[in-house]
Structure 1
Amino acid sequence: MKIKIAVFGRKETIDKLNYYVEDQEDIEITPFIFTNAKETIELIEKAVMCDIYLFAGTLPYLYAKEKIDKKRLPAVQVACDAYTILTSFYRLQNAHNKSLGRFSIDVLNHNHVKEVMTELAMHDHPIYTYSYGEDRELDIDRIIKHHEDLWNDGKIDYILTSIEEVAERLEKNNIPAFCMQIPKINMENAIERARETAKLNQSKSVQIVSGFVRIKDYELLTADKGELFAQNLLLELQQILLKFGQQTRSSVLANGNQFALFGTRGILNYITNHYRDFPLLLEIERTLNITVEIGFGLGLTAKQAEDHAKLALETCKHSENSNCYIVNERKETIGPLGVEKHFNASQLYRALIHKAKLNNELSYNFIDFIKLRNNEPFSANDIANYYRVTKRSAERTIYKLLSGEVIKAVGEEKPYQKGRPRKLFKITI
């Protein structure tokens, strides 16, 4: 299985990366090209079908960092390190005939400049360093003003910047500026880190699933019907859950007036195959004539899965009816499950035709697909199975739907022990 790397950068940089990996059959690069690095904030939302995110520069990574941290996305950035600065100094001297003095430089970390200056014994050279990694928040205008002030004061003869946009704006103001070029080895190292990180993520064990099931308002029911009646209900509920445990190869433990479930692939398959009807919930209601709350949590550790299951169970409190929710490893809540969800089919059809640019047949089929799944989250694999097409063809449909903003990513599932997680999507109509 190929590793899909989402690369964020300018066209010329991504072209270089493509050239470096063209003979590497285990890698597939999906380019996300920008002219302004700030566009990365929006572009990252479209990279939902990729295994890892690679940023060809410090600036796009910094703009996207908040979303990376919030969504816990696997990310790698091409290093702008001491070697980058050293090779840039070499180009200044040999390609541009510039002396290594009387210039200003901006970098993420000023220590890299100090390392190079120490290595080259440049102790007496007037160099002004701006370290934007020390700023509370990134501000291109502040960096440009720093360089312009030095230029206007006659303290420098040119600028060396690590940011393309800074160089472009300075040049428009007739201030000589040179942008650092990313060395080939830094790009190759970033690609290798991306490959290794993606492989590590794919080799992690299957997600652990934890669940809690409880009778809603058990104390009130006990006070109304009596202790014996309530205890008999718990015994009958336990029998239903034990049968469910055998079906899904999961463990069922009694914990006071609620039950805990623990499993992996079996229970995860059950959940993802029953978003629409959720038979367990229906069986409990029909057999015992009670209101029940079910919360499932997904995680890479038992503790994480248990904590997420508790969050899902708390969400059940907001309704008087029986319901079931899931909280995945990113703390995204999915549900309620088994409850009919209505949507505007006419509005969805118009969006499919005009925004996603699907033809009539595909549009009608997609509406039927959404109805069948009760408007629950779906993956590219679900579309492939429904349309009976290849996964690659299904992914092309997903890209069209995302580009037209007809759907959005809402989470992911990992039904198999190996391989990347499947992204889950939901219509926005």
Structure 2
Amino acid sequence: MSTKIAIICSKAFMQRIISIAQTITNIQLEFYLYNHPAEAPALLKQIKPCDALLLGGTLPYLHAQSLLSELPIPWNYIKQDETAISTTLLSLVAKHAIPIHRISIDVMNPIFVDNVLTEIEYDGEGPYVQHISITEPTETILRQHIALWNTKSIDFVITSIHSVFDELQQQQIPAMRMLDTTNAIIQSLEETRSKSLLTKSESVKAVVGLLEIPEDTSVQSTIINHIAKATFSTYKQITSHSFELYTTAGHLQKVLEKGNLEKLIQKINQPFKLAFGYGHSILEATQHAQHALAFTKSYEIYVLDEHKNLLGPFPNSEGRLSLKTDDPYVLQMAKLTSLSPLNISKIINFSRERQSAQFTAQNLAEYLQVTRRTTERIIKKLVDKGYAKAVGEEMTHQQGRPRTIYELNFATY
């Protein structure tokens, strides 16, 4: 299965990435283009369901940095380093024979220029170096280049900012964009894909559960056996009426589906309290399970994840979501589709929690905990207004029509 990567970059950089990405198998690219890197935070809000995000440079990354932790998908950015600078300088000197001291160059980290010149044992007069910073308007960088040109201090400009390059071209000042090497772009794309695959593998990470049974319960072995079997857990007894379970996130997700839980509770037919914890270690997961257990009542299950989000109680909760029905984006969609703000919010969170951008009506029905017919009506309303689209069909081993595969067609992050 291919990895769908959203890329935030300039239009000029998009063409270079497309030409290079053809050498990489199993990736699908979707571009979100800016005229200026400061637009990167706004573009984050426009990203449609995908597997990972790649920002096309350090500057858009710095502008979007504070928002990246909120993304439910892995992200990466193409970093500027000494290789890019040395490659660009070599290209300029080879093609135009411009002396290094007659160049004005803007970079994210000026020390990289010094490092390159030191490595090649250059002992002449250095170039004019402009330091790029998100606290410094790009117009300032542009004015510095132009001022040096007007005073005849330079013969050429190397810029890392595409909008600056475009303006220099309009003013007929000789300039070139910083060359991101083919290897650097390939490495960034492959790293981003690897991060996505790693995130998906998180579904097998360890989870700790804590089970408490009333002391006067005479069938505790039956209860623990039912729960251990349903959650694919191994367990150990802590006290005469408490147990610790060990399973994986993938197995837990299956048992937390409402239908499965209801069947399990019917089988047990005895009071119990059960809580699970995720964590970056077994110790942390155990502590999270202990915190979740404090909220749990009989016949209920709570989960505390590694981000300390409390989910539940299962199976009676509407979902594991924090819904904001006062969001104008959600309200506008609700108005256009005639769906409730609650359903729109659930669909957005359904997309955020899935490891794949594609889904079937059955996938959504299980998440919304409604009938297949109701889900199909919801999807039809989304498709009719362009908020979802059919992208294929899934053949089953059973008789009957193939299932339609859909993708959401609006920003969910």
Change (3 A) 1:239 1:186: same
Q: Give CA deviations for 1:151-178 in whole Å, capped at 9, x if unaligned.
A: 6586953653322245457778998764
Task: Report if aligned partners of 1:281, 1:324 keep a CA contact under 8 Å in 2.
Answer: no
> For 1:123-162, what aligned pairs fall within 5 Å after superposition?
123-132=123-132, 138-141=134-137, 144-145=139-140, 148=143, 156-157=153-154, 159-162=157-160
Q: Give CA deviations for 1:93-132 in whole Å, capped at 9, x if unaligned.
A: 4556643215443323333212321244433324343555
Query: TM-score, with normalisation over the residues of structure 1?
Result: 0.65
Q: Are positions 1:39 and 2:33 aligned together?
A: no
Question: Which structure dedicates a bigger proportion of its chain to helix?
Answer: 1
- Partner-residue secondary structure (3-state), 2:114: helix
Q: Which amino acid aligns with 1:309?
A: A
**Gap runs ≥5 in structure 2:** 366-374, 377-391, 395-402
- Quote the Cα distance in structure 2 between the aligned partners of 1:207 and 1:35: 41
- Quote the Cα distance in structure 2 between the aligned partners of 1:184 and 1:378: 33
Q: CA deviation at 1:340?
A: 5.2
- Quote the Cα distance in structure 2 between the aligned partners of 1:95 and 1:357: 58
Q: CA deviation at 1:87?
A: 2.8
> For 1:49-198, what aligned pairs fall within 5 Å after superposition?
49-69=49-69, 74-93=74-93, 98-132=98-132, 138-141=134-137, 144-145=139-140, 148=143, 156-157=153-154, 159-167=157-165, 178-198=176-196
Q: CA deviation at 1:334?
A: 3.0
- Partner-residue secondary structure (3-state), 2:215: helix
Q: Which amino acid aligns with 1:11?
A: K
Change (3 A) 1:340 1:189: closer
> For 1:10-25, what aligned pairs fall within 5 Å after superposition?
10-22=10-22, 24-25=24-25
Change (3 A) 1:19 1:334: farther
Give the aligned partner of residue 248 of structure 1. Answer: 231
**Gap runs ≥5 in structure 1:** 216-229, 410-429
Task: Report if aligned partners of 1:71, 1:330 keep a CA contact under 8 Å in 2.
Answer: no
- Partner-residue secondary structure (3-state), 1:182: coil
Give the aligned partner of residue 270 of structure 1. Answer: 255
Q: CA deviation at 1:355?
A: 2.9
Give the aligned partner of residue 336 of structure 1. Answer: 313
Aligned residues: 364
Task: Report if aligned partners of 1:384, 1:390 keep a CA contact under 8 Å in 2.
Answer: no
Q: Which amino acid aligns with 2:289?
A: A
Change (3 A) 1:188 1:84: same
- Partner-residue secondary structure (3-state), 2:190: helix
Task: Report if aligned partners of 1:107, 1:161 keep a CA contact under 8 Å in 2.
Answer: yes
% identity of equivalent residues? 22
Change (3 A) 1:335 1:146: same
Specify which structure has the bigger relative contact order, considering alpha-carbon pairs within 8 angstroms and separated by 6 or more residues: 2
Of 272, 282, 304, the residue aligned with 1:302 is: 282
Q: CA deviation at 1:295?
A: 2.8
> For 1:279-358, what aligned pairs fall within 5 Å after superposition?
279=262, 287-288=270-271, 294-299=274-279, 301-313=281-293, 316=295, 323-339=300-316, 341=318, 355=333
RMSD of aligned alpha carbons: 4.8
- Quote the Cα distance in structure 1 between the aligned partners of 2:306 and 2:157: 45
Give the aligned partner of residue 231 of structure 1. Answer: 215
- Partner-residue secondary structure (3-state), 1:232: coil
Q: Give CA deviations for 1:163-214 in whole Å, capped at 9, x if unaligned.
A: 2245457778998764313233322232233344445555667122222244
